[in-house]
A and B are shown apart, each in its own frame.
Chain A
Amino acid sequence: MKIAIASGKGGTGKTTISVNLACAANEDVQLVDCDVEEPNAHLFLEARGVATEVEGILTPQIDEELCDGCGECARFCEFNALAALGGAPLVFPELCHGCGGCARVCPQGAIAEVERRIGTVDTSVSGLIRLVGGCLDVGVAMAPPLINAVKKRVWKQGLVILDAPPGTTCPVIAALGDVDYVVLVTEPTPFGLNDLKLAVDMVRALNLPFGVVINRAGSGNADVMDYCRSEGIVVLMELPDDRRIAQAYSRGEVIVESLPEYKGAFRLLLDKIIKSGTAVGEN
């Protein structure tokens, strides 16, 4: 089963929930850090056997002798990475998403595709957890292709927990592709509620089953709970606003290990998710 941990707002505790769920699973589990712009799941785990692979995307290279300047490639490119001005087109590789469409539509076969590095993918092991995570190169504004490269390594079977990037745009959509269940982490503040609503709209548009975890419960107001109730959204867990959790986090520690009394709550959370996700799958 593939479980994605997402949120509208950043800093709500996606990684905290992801890492602690993986640790509470107490079975072979793959933890996939899809937040390639700021990966941090590895900071909480003592990883062994780190292997780093370089990833890139294929960008167009024009053979000026074969090109007749028809401009088909530039008209096709959704991302404006090619400019046709009569002669051979100009290429802006930094705008290219690597779809390969330009090479396919070129009637002259004048476009070759050359790899352009966008980042790295690290794989490592920590106890029963297999960790996979991407890290986008500085200056590259192209998260989805690297997230897709990370996701190529996702297990076909078994328990997989994906730590998604924040927000509701392309990188999150890439992370949520083909998952079985989404956990939306929020906080009981006006900001948390505002961004939770956006995230709920997103997962509903994607037609994915989901539930909510309220982190730092007790620190704000009851509006998030009221919203979930009125929308019929299941609240899977309320993680209290416990100073000891913040302290453990700041030291890079896993809550279920530093504060074992929370282990049961995370195990229960995982069981609820598996039950909800499986129930949907059976329907």
Chain B
Amino acid sequence: MKIAFSTSGSDLNGDIDPRFGRAAGFLVYDTDTKNYETVNNDQNLNAMQGAGIQSAQLVAELKVEAVVTGHCGPKAFRTLSAAGVKVYNVHNAGFKTVSEALKAVENGELQAATGADVDGHW
């Protein structure tokens, strides 16, 4: 299974970016191969509007099954849901790096969100 983490870093030690749509980038981790790749999100970071929708399309095209991020607004959540991508909000989870969040996902400590946890443009 592939998981996308919103991050401002470039490896597993990077911080989780609290934003989804305007995240600096995504680290896409494959739990089967234990490999990861990073994807730059500059274009959507600077989008005039609809950044969440575009970022959701971006990670959906990478065939991820789950997104781990700080917050997820309503348009991004709707797009991710339509693509069958689960959302895990880790804003209040007490850890800050991708590797910490990954460990929590693998240990089944996180619950998938059932809706947006913030309004748009929070």
Interface-central residue, A78, A84, A86, A90, by most chain B CB under 10 Å: A90
Q: Are A74 and B49 in contact (CB under 8 A)?
A: no
Question: Is the pair A83, B48 in contact by a Cβ cutoff of 8 Å?
Answer: no
The residue that A90 contacts in the complex, of B47, B48, B78, with Cβ under 8 A, is: B78
Residues 68-99 of chain A: 1 if any B CB is under 8 Å from the residue's CB, otherwise 0?
A: 00000010001111011110001010010000
- Inter-chain CA distance A79–B79, complex, in Å, is 15
A-chain residues with CB within 8 Å of residue B53 when the two chains form the complex? 80, 83, 90, 92, 95
Interface residues of B in 15-72 (CB under 8 A from A): 47-51, 53-54, 56-57, 60
Within 8 A of B (CB), among A180-216: none
Chain A residue numbers with a CB within 8 Å of B56 are 83
Chain A residues with CB under 8 A of B82: 83, 85, 90
Nearest B residue to A141, CB-CB: B49
A85 contact set on B, CB distance < 8 A:
57, 60, 79, 82-83
Tell me the minimal C-beta distance from A79 to chain B in angstroms: 6
Minimum CB–CB distance for A139 against chain B, Å: 12
- Residues of chain B with a CB closer than 8 A to A81's CB: 50
Of chain B, the residue at the smallest CB distance from A92 is B75
- Find chain A residues with CB under 8 A from B60 CB: 85
Interface size class of chain A, counting residues whose CB lies under 8 Å from the partner chain: 10 to 19
Q: Which of B48, B53, B54 has the most CB of A within 10 A?
A: B53
Report Cα–Cα, A74/B48, bound state, in Å. Answer: 15
Minimum C-beta distance from A91 to chain B (A):
11
CB-CB under 8 A from B50, the residues of chain A are 79-81, 92, 95
8 Å CB contacts to B: which residues of A147-181? none
CA distance A260 to B75 in the complex (A): 55
- Nearest B residue to A88 via CB reads B82
Q: Which residues on the B side are within 8 Å of A92 (C-beta)?
A: 50, 53, 75
Question: Do residues A80 and B54 form an inter-chain contact, with CB atoms below 8 A?
Answer: yes
Chain B contacts of A84 at CB under 8 A?
57
B57 and A83 contacting across the interface, CB-CB below 8 Å: yes
- Tell me how far the C-beta of B41 lies from the nearest C-beta in chain A, rounded to whole angstroms: 14
By the criterion CB–CB under 8 Å, are B49 and A95 in contact? yes
Contact between B47 and A80, CB atoms less than 8 A apart: yes
A2 CB to nearest B CB, Å: 29
Chain A, Cβ-Cβ closest to B74: A92
Smallest beta-carbon distance B100→chain A, Å: 30
CB-based nearest B residue for A78: B48
- Tell me how far the C-beta of B86 lies from the nearest C-beta in chain A, rounded to whole angstroms: 15
Which chain A residues lie closer than 8 Å to B79 at the CB level?
83, 85, 90
- B75 CB contacts on chain A under 8 angstroms: 92, 95
A86 contact set on B, CB distance < 8 A: 83
CB B63 to nearest CB in A, in angstroms, measures 11
A85 (CB) vs chain B CBs: closest residue: B83
Please list the 5 inter-chain residue pairs (A to B) with the smallest Cβ-Cβ separation, ordered nearest first: A80-B50, A85-B83, A83-B79, A83-B53, A80-B53
List 9 additional A-B contacts (Cβ < 8 Å) besides A80-B54, A90-B53, A95-B75.
A79-B49, A80-B47, A80-B53, A83-B53, A83-B79, A83-B82, A85-B82, A90-B78, A95-B53
Interface residues of A (CB under 8 A from B): 74, 78-81, 83-86, 90, 92, 95
A-B contact pairs, 28 of them (CB 8 A): A74-B57, A78-B48, A79-B49, A79-B50, A80-B49, A80-B50, A80-B53, A80-B54, A83-B53, A83-B54, A83-B56, A83-B57, A83-B79, A83-B82, A84-B57, A85-B57, A85-B60, A85-B79, A85-B82, A85-B83, A86-B83, A90-B53, A90-B79, A92-B50, A92-B75, A95-B49, A95-B53, A95-B75
